[in-house]
Structure 1
Amino acid sequence: MAARSDVFGARGTLETARGPAVVYRLRRLEDQGLASIDRLPFSLRILLENLLRHVDGYVVRPEDVEALARWKPGAEPREIAFMPARVVLQDFTGVPAAVDLAAMRSAMKRMGGDPKKINPLIPVDLVIDHSVQVDLFGTQYAFLGNVEKEFERNRERYALLRWAQKAFDNFRVVPPGTGIVHQVNLEYLASVVQLREQGGEVAAFPDTLVGTDSHTTMINGLGVLGWGVGGIEAEAVMLGQPYSMLIPEVVGVRLTGRLPEGATATDLVLRVTEMLRKKGVVGKFVEYFGPGLSTLSLPDRATLANMSPEYGATMGFFPVDDETLAYLRGTGREEEQVRLVERYCKEQGLFRTDGSPDPQYSDVLELDMSTVEPSLAGPRRPQDRVPLGQVKTSFQKALAESFGRSGNGHAAPAGSDPASAAGSEAGAAANGSDNGRLSDGAVAIAAITSCTNTSNPSVMVGAGILARKAVERGLRVKPYVKTSMAPGSRVVTDYLQAAGLLPYLEALRFHVVGYGCTTCIGNSGQLPEASAKQVEEGNLVVAAVLSGNRNFEGRINPLVKANYLASPPLVIAYALAGRMDVDLATDPLGYDPNGRPVYLKEIWPTQEEIRETIDRTLRPEIFRNRYGQVFEGDERWKGLPVPKGDLYEWDAASTYIQEPPFFVDMPLDPPAPADIRSARALAVLGDSITTDHISPAGAIAKDGPAGRYLQERGVGVADFNTYGSRRGNHEVMMRGTFANIRLRNLLAPGTEGGWTRHLPDGKVMTLYDAAVAYRQEGVPLVVLAGREYGTGSSRDWAAKGPYLLGVQAAIAESFERIHRSNLIGMGILPLQFLPGESRESLGLDGTELYDIEGIAGDLQPGATLSVQARRGDGSEVRFQVTARIDTPVELESYRNGGILQAVLRKLL
């Protein structure tokens, strides 16, 4: 990289507790008439500082700075290079990243280069948080038992991470049982402003990052610029490559009023998610402003920022203000760091006050927070908000229309009224006379889980107070409900214990089952045997209620079809009621031992009760004590073997870690991209296909291709673990691609799961087996899809898997941001139907042969390509598509067959 150049004269110094620090002052651009800093969105000011500090005439050019400084709503998109200060990983995405880096070292050695060139050049923190499963629940032993099982299952993966921690510079690992990456980031890792030695001098600059989890955006609540990227992109950033992006549109959300009594931050974020999904903010920054900001605590802001992927935005940003400083102090940060944040942000125009002028935005939406009401979202998508009083009728309607049931374990008769579907038996069950028997609508899982809400003391304390009041009234959770509580950090348990609330949660069987991402990622564990048997025998539609951010089909548990997001207090409420087809606004939760009804409104905590408890129990010392030895780990962690050496020793017998084929036999010069000829469709999919549909993270079916692979290698079904934990083995992952049990491939009508038709013979088989057959026949593959293809989690295996199956292009009506870039990162071409066109409008059913022309030669970002679809009867359909390669850097990645191949060739 070329040396930095101070062409704008912005370089100066700032006095800090460590002495003078180099800063690049944004006001110098204003002095030169290039910018009106106060009119720029705060998020773009931070991005502007990043460009200003990295001007070198090559990666960042002076004209890039000028273009961003002069940004106005409606400005032409322009490519810029963002240089994040650090990277955060979680283990589901971090293990494959470590595997890829190890594989790049092996390839570098084979090709005669220096393996140590493959090394993170910026700080990387990996938090092991996605591997604990809820095997045990409802007992004091649950946490210790689940951790023990976690280490048994994941010993090989953890040994790899221990090797990475030793072999790579700038690579830290937070051991299992500590917390969820985003909450650890919020409470400890993030500094808001960094002081770092660079080239023999100390520099001060905003803390920025990218992470391999889509909910990296939680840190936006702290005024830190960062978002989720694919693991492939994160690895390139680690290796010193810029993150290429277009200057985004910034949508302002003006908040007024304050949350009313009875409403929570969860209810607010579900309202915002619904609102912004309807608006359409994919690929845009969202920034919150307005007088309502001063009524929101920082954890409330973090809750809103966390769910940016659910409402489709790249970020959901909150500027630094007095509440930010109070949070930093409250979580035990050093006073000199808090003063640095205040001084730097005020001097750079990055500090918000109630009197700050409103920035200009591409568009503005308004929300009066006093109109927010208690709500859930479901049964399949986070944006499908349902007010609490409408949950009963909404579920009954979904039961009939989406699941084809009338309630109580019966198929819905043709023409039946969904509003009366639950029947008298469901009412009896709601009143506690079900004797443990399950029927449609039963709550099978109730989980207080996910960083979205467990990072927020107000909803966690609220859940504890509700639990106390419920126990005092003699209520108990229904016996068939699998309950769990998985806080995002150990601090949560500390303050719940100090408040005297933990025993009441445990009395309702909400024991701590682990400190990590459990039910929300699909690590809910198996249902109790009796419940599972009833669900399978009756093909029942049972529900999960979780305080998470994702409720996509097939994600939470294979046997649970209806999934609802809710605040932690409402999770407990539905565990007490035991059913979805009750109206908690009017119906009793249950009955006390004397037969008197108990209503939700009678035990709901007041805002004053919550505030008083938090003020009494939450102290900076709790955070300092918990994070003082955050990288140490327990005796299990310390006792793991640590492989030595700069090169990882691959074990051919391992079913967890294998060298991926991405760099094996990679030529020094990439072959020129070619047009795609006579391709077959491997899958024809509808709208809102998630990365969970493409590459599930949860249970591995014993009779599927991945399950058969493991059994052939002596792995018992009980030891399968999950797809998420097997991401270090490409053989498992490619067999699990498109293996979600709820996937509906229109090429194989009447099936559900990973099935397709092999063409032209029409034989129905698994997608993996069909891909193998097509590879042997030399047939390239494409995928057809509708709107929002690749929505949901940041998941590089949703691109790696299709690549290994032979998919060369995905043709969709629209793409989710992270998945689109992941496809390019693996050398798969994302192609978008022209506006107003779709597979249906063009009459395509996926049985055609596809020729895609315009790839060979001078392919450019945003190019229009021609597609010819030839039917079996000799007729054909011609149409055009847009190549969703948006920047020259993305084009370079595609031409190299992937972003990591491009990086490896550069380093060679």
Structure 2
Amino acid sequence: MANPFDRILKNTQIGEENFQFYSLPDLNDGRYDKLPFSIRVLLESAVRNCDNFQVKEKDVENILNWQDNQNQDVEIPFKPARVILQDFTGVPAVVDFAAMRDAVKALGGDPSVINPVCPADLVIDHSVQVDVSRRQDALKENHKLEMERNKERFQFLKWGAKAFKNLTIVPPGTGIVHQVNLEYLARAVFNTDGMLYPDSLVGTDSHTTMINGLGVVGWGVGGIEAEAVMLGQSISMVLPKVIGYKLTGKMTGMATSTDAVLTITKHLRQIGVVGKFVEFFGPGVSELSIADRATISNMCPEYGATIGYFPVDGQSIVYLRQTGRSEKKLEYIEKYLKEMKMFRNYSNPDEDPIFSQVIELNLSDVVSCVSGPKRPHDRVSVSDMKADFQQCLDNKVGFKGFHISAEKQCKESQFTFNNENFTLKHGSVVIAAITSCTNTSNPSVMLGAGLLAKNAVECGLNVAPYIKTSLSPGSGVVTYYLRESGVLDPLAKLGFDLVGYGCMTCIGNSGPLSDPVAAAIEQEDLVVCGVLSGNRNFEGRIHPLTRANYLASPPLVVAYALAGTVNIDFEKEPIGKSTDGKDIYLRDIWPTREQVQEVERKHVLPAMFSEVYDRLQQGSPAWNALDTPDSMLYPWDEKSTYIKSPPFFLRMAKEVPSMESIQNAAVLLNLGDSVTTDHISPAGSIARNSPAARYLAGRGLIPREFNSYGSRRGNDAVMARGTFANIRLVNKFIGKAAPKTVYISSGETMDVFDASERYLMEGRHLIVLAGKDYGSGSSRDWAAKGPWILGIKAVICESFERIHRSNLIGMGIVPLQYIDGQSTESLGLTGKESYTITIPSDLKPGDLVDVTLDNGRSFTVKARFDTDVELTYFKHGGILQYMIRKMIVGQ
């Protein structure tokens, strides 16, 4: 359909080129000038994509009327400009696209039409771990092990890079997805055949928000939403409230951007910003570099907001120039954003929009701090660290407690490492990692760590050899400027050798501790520590033996490694002794802000970014040596336990199937409130007594080869067997936490997957009963894909988490909601009945449908198809089936 907003389509010449764009100021609507800058991006997308099917004129009006609608739970469509994936979450997306090609061919169509419609970039960064550290060859050896472990997955992804248009695969060893996004992939403004529009994206990693620091709207989603966007579809979202976070002043003393973000994270967690946008403004923003802003935006999932947004300003343009974007691009980026009133002057309060709420932070109040020992928002100032850790030992077990008795707090473990004797105590540091996307994008804190190391080495200080130290930057550019500024060698002398370019210690890929250290910890059950420059430190995440983990700036990671303990007051106690026996305090070796800025000006150069990213597509010799087929269709290997063709399109026909009722369905699970996607979707290690383990063992694998569910997300047989396999799942049929259910036909208790197989052999449909907030938590594609494979046709609950409801529809599962005030309990349902759900052929969004039980009783539920688009997807059997038929018709 013609776009009703073509009346504001504007032509302009920039340089020697002609461009078009939808000029929002030409709407001549006074509400536009008061909109938060982040909402203006949503509005532009709605205007440009208005077709009165996916995006309607009413949606545009709803966004324009944000000030009134922000409190009304108004749903709007959003079509991002691109998608970004990492390898753990990207593999199943590429598997689905490969299977879609097979389906198109089977239906007599041209499989080459199946490609991402929306540009998609996949960065391989989650598969490398710190197996080798404190050695000059650590980088080489860790990359070698990464390639060996992940050969099948990487071969498949390399095939995808060649086979699909509009899909870019960034090889392993390049960097962390979010830093590569910031330095290289971000467009700021898209130019598609002369049409200009703001860069925006969704990504299959929660820390996608890091790109908000460069003025790009984007956030993390589940795999099904990402695939929908890749196929040109919009995603549905609630028009959010926007919290204005005003920054004033400038940071002083030893404070870094990491300290600012930990302060902001705690502050916003206390306020409560879940489901909201946070938009930063005020004169203090001008004091922050783009890397500083990106550090703050990266932690958005930790303070709970959807985005943490910094609109584009002059510094954004400087950063784009520094990272190698051409002057031609910079010219149209700046001019377009200024024409659209999307370019900010943070020092001009007249440009400040209206916000839902305004909160303020003076950056001069930020002090040096860490967060821990178990959550990112539990901020502790460095000056209070010793007292706080002592309190954690005393406190009852919880987020801030370990409940260690006074007698046991004195326990020590002696051990021998490399023929030297050492002692571990509570608070001893055993892992110190400069790692993750949060900080390694930021030259100021990375150079700060390097200069601190240089000063420490010159004083004769060293790090105990048993501490597992590592340096895993987000991109090769970091190595360049660390080497050029002369601080890479001092870092290595303290044990911070380069171990890899990827998401390592922060996601738990810290690798093993040495046997003597592990034994010493376990001998006295010590609360030992990891210190890392990451963004997450949840219990058990970093390493099973580090019960306390603290997030810190890279300089503080070095400092605590030098001290060997977190149980220290740096203001009063020396960090070590110089070669001549003099006490050295942290303040003696801490570089000044001016020293760091001077080194950064001299050694962080545009040529570094250009050189690193010019080599991006070349890949490593090991990557280039991978054999991959040249075929358009993927030649599935039936023996593979990593990559498998999914069953989503079996028996699919060209014609849209008729709507069918659900007949004589059995209840697979009878669940309560707040069942999360973590309860549903497979994650973590594969338990040895699980259906997935039995499947892998049946294919000749031994337990140490099982790997994790994350690494096997491209194999539906493994993932289906891990669905509802969470040991904390509470099924009313069982009455306690267990990944079990009751097979109603016989009354036997068994694994959920085994019961589903029994029902499927009987030819019975399956449903799930649940309470409030079904599907809450992180959006996970396998939380909808897994139930579909198990044979679940519908979920009946009191309320759904919004995105999970959408994902169920995307897989062809009916979301049904009890009438207000009703529930499984109030209706007297045991779950042992048989259920027939009547789905009329003329079903409309929001209609009521009848449920009849085999005992003659019946009740009514609401079909939670909220839009015509959702109902269209469902009629086709799911969004992927809809796209296949749409593309065949278009041939």
Query: What TM-score do you get using the length of structure 1 for normalisation?
Result: 0.85
| 1:37 correspondence with 2:32 | yes
| Deviation of the 1:441 alpha carbon | 4.2
Aligned to 2:358: 364
| 1:335 correspondence with 2:318 | no
| 1:192 correspondence with 2:188 | yes
SS in 1 for 2:150: helix
| 1:376 correspondence with 2:370 | yes
Provide the rounded CA distance (Å) in 1 between the counterparts of 2:851 and 2:424: 51
| Cα separation, partners in 2 of 1:850 and 1:506, compared to 1, 3 Å | farther
Provide the rounded CA distance (Å) in 1 between the counterparts of 2:671 and 2:519: 32
| Cα separation, partners in 2 of 1:879 and 1:556, compared to 1, 3 Å | farther
| Cα separation, partners in 2 of 1:862 and 1:147, compared to 1, 3 Å | farther
Q: Which region of structure 1 is more displaced relative to structure 2, 264-273 or 437-446?
A: 437-446
Aligned to 1:95: 91
SS in 2 for 1:731: helix
The answer to whether the 8 Å contact 1:119/1:168 transfers is yes
Query: What TM-score do you get using the length of structure 2 for normalisation?
Result: 0.87
| 1:318 correspondence with 2:310 | yes
Aligned to 1:616: 602
| Deviation of the 1:145 alpha carbon | 0.6
| Deviation of the 1:204 alpha carbon | 1.8
| Cα separation, partners in 2 of 1:556 and 1:428, compared to 1, 3 Å | closer
Residue deviations 1:804-859 (CA, integer Å, cap 9, x gap): 445667799997765564455345677899999999xx899999769999995688
Quick one: which of 296, 299, 309 aligns to 1:307? 299
| Cα separation, partners in 2 of 1:140 and 1:665, compared to 1, 3 Å | same
Aligned to 2:46: 51
Provide the rounded CA distance (Å) in 2 between the counterparts of 1:444 and 1:781: 48
Counterpart code for 1:175: P
| Deviation of the 1:767 alpha carbon | 5.7
Counterparts of residues 86-485 of structure 1 (less than 5 Å): 86-197=82-193, 202-353=194-345, 354-355=347-348, 356-392=350-386, 394-395=388-389, 398=392, 403=397, 420=406, 423-425=409-411, 435-436=421-422, 438=424, 440-485=426-471
| Cα separation, partners in 2 of 1:112 and 1:186, compared to 1, 3 Å | same
Counterparts of residues 540-559 of structure 1 (less than 5 Å): 541-559=527-545
| Deviation of the 1:318 alpha carbon | 0.9
| Cα separation, partners in 2 of 1:569 and 1:772, compared to 1, 3 Å | farther
| Deviation of the 1:116 alpha carbon | 2.4
The answer to whether the 8 Å contact 2:413/2:521 transfers is no
Provide the rounded CA distance (Å) in 2 between the counterparts of 1:542 and 1:809: 47
Aligned to 1:903: 883
| 1:732 correspondence with 2:718 | yes
| Cα separation, partners in 2 of 1:370 and 1:559, compared to 1, 3 Å | same
Counterpart code for 2:282: G
Counterpart code for 1:361: F
Residue deviations 1:181-213 (CA, integer Å, cap 9, x gap): 11111111112112221xxxx222212222222
Quick one: which of 792, 810, 825 aligns to 1:825? 810
Quick one: which of 3, 10, 20 aligns to 1:22? 20
Aligned to 1:800: 785
Provide the rounded CA distance (Å) in 2 between the counterparts of 1:710 and 1:894: 33
| Deviation of the 1:801 alpha carbon | 3.5
Counterpart code for 2:720: M
Provide the rounded CA distance (Å) in 1 between the counterparts of 2:681 and 2:720: 9
Provide the rounded CA distance (Å) in 2 between the counterparts of 1:365 and 1:136: 45
Residue deviations 1:444-493 (CA, integer Å, cap 9, x gap): 43222111111111221122222223333433334443222211100011
Counterpart code for 2:341: G
| Deviation of the 1:42 alpha carbon | 0.7
Quick one: which of 622, 638, 662 aligns to 2:648? 662
Provide the rounded CA distance (Å) in 1 between the counterparts of 2:226 and 2:748: 40
> What RMSD in Å do the two structures reach over aligned CA positions?
4.2
| Cα separation, partners in 2 of 1:854 and 1:714, compared to 1, 3 Å | closer
| Cα separation, partners in 2 of 1:863 and 1:669, compared to 1, 3 Å | closer
Provide the rounded CA distance (Å) in 1 between the counterparts of 2:830 and 2:380: 39
Provide the rounded CA distance (Å) in 2 between the counterparts of 1:683 and 1:385: 36
Counterpart code for 2:363: M
Q: Which region of structure 1 is more displaced relative to structure 2, 884-893 or 210-219?
A: 884-893
Q: Number of residues paired by the alignment?
A: 876
Counterparts of residues 579-728 of structure 1 (less than 5 Å): 579-584=565-570, 586-591=572-577, 597-666=583-652, 668-669=656-657, 671-672=659-660, 674=662, 679=667, 681=669, 691=678, 695=681, 699-701=685-687, 704-728=690-714
Aligned to 1:520: 506
The answer to whether the 8 Å contact 1:50/1:82 transfers is yes
SS in 2 for 1:459: helix
The answer to whether the 8 Å contact 2:171/2:619 transfers is yes
SS in 1 for 2:116: coil
| Cα separation, partners in 2 of 1:645 and 1:576, compared to 1, 3 Å | same
| Deviation of the 1:178 alpha carbon | 0.7
Counterpart code for 1:11: L
The answer to whether the 8 Å contact 1:686/1:785 transfers is yes
The answer to whether the 8 Å contact 1:73/1:361 transfers is no
| Cα separation, partners in 2 of 1:867 and 1:775, compared to 1, 3 Å | same
Residue deviations 1:580-609 (CA, integer Å, cap 9, x gap): 444555554455566665443443332222
| Cα separation, partners in 2 of 1:95 and 1:203, compared to 1, 3 Å | same
Provide the rounded CA distance (Å) in 2 between the counterparts of 1:785 and 1:599: 57
Residue deviations 1:739-794 (CA, integer Å, cap 9, x gap): 678x5758799999x744657899887665566567668684648688896535x5
| Deviation of the 1:171 alpha carbon | 1.6
| Deviation of the 1:319 alpha carbon | 0.7
Provide the rounded CA distance (Å) in 1 between the counterparts of 2:861 and 2:440: 44
Provide the rounded CA distance (Å) in 2 between the counterparts of 1:406 and 1:11: 56
| Cα separation, partners in 2 of 1:139 and 1:782, compared to 1, 3 Å | farther
| Cα separation, partners in 2 of 1:81 and 1:744, compared to 1, 3 Å | closer
The answer to whether the 8 Å contact 1:444/1:480 transfers is yes
Provide the rounded CA distance (Å) in 1 between the counterparts of 2:748 and 2:577: 56
| Deviation of the 1:389 alpha carbon | 4.1
